[in-house]
Structure 1
């Protein structure tokens, strides 16, 4: 069983984000991730607070990557994400869940605002193993 806190959004929500909200997110990236709560991976279920629940068959793949809708600059914010441009290419990158429905969900797990760090890298192999239980995750 794994448990932590999360912030989440969908790619569609990011595409609809206003310029003003994106500007404010330079200070606090969580403004781009309107869903938050406790995340738990246990007993064949991924639970994202009261927002969503997934079975392994719901998830096609899991990756840790920047997307056009949430890139390195957005992840670095006012702190400056300069390490994410160099040796630590994935620093601050969201976990991306590609769902069978075609929806893409971005997650920040265990996000620490002051440092801009997450526990996403630790969750990546666990979420991939979870998705593979029903033939998902092609990575």
Structure 2
């Protein structure tokens, strides 16, 4: 950790998000990495130290891919008996002034894609489990 010819340096592992550390310190023009040291030109040493503390040394996060299928593909993951039971339960719930299942089914039908990890889908599947239309294991299998 020293200033050398206008360069400040910090120790950082190679998997750290080195450009983010440099940018957080206010230096994005020139940086280099040698022997476990990140060198950033034109920043104060204190700023680079603070940037390392702020950004950390974890690898950059990589967003997980969104798992999607068509509404028809999702519907076909249910057996014919399960589809019938869900449809009947939604109809009966509507008659009892509970639109929850029907709204879930309508939302699926109106979707261009079904995001298998979306919280709304998980909530709908939880509703099917709560109404004993599916077991938890079966719901998880459908969402695989």
Tell me which interval the TM-score lies in, with the shorter structure as reference length: under 0.3
Question: What TM-score do the two structures reach when normalised by structure 1?
Answer: 0.21
User: Larger helix proportion, structure 1 or 2?
Assistant: 2
User: Larger strand proportion, structure 1 or 2?
Assistant: 1
Which of the two has higher C-alpha Rg?
2
Question: What TM-score do the two structures reach when normalised by structure 2?
Answer: 0.21
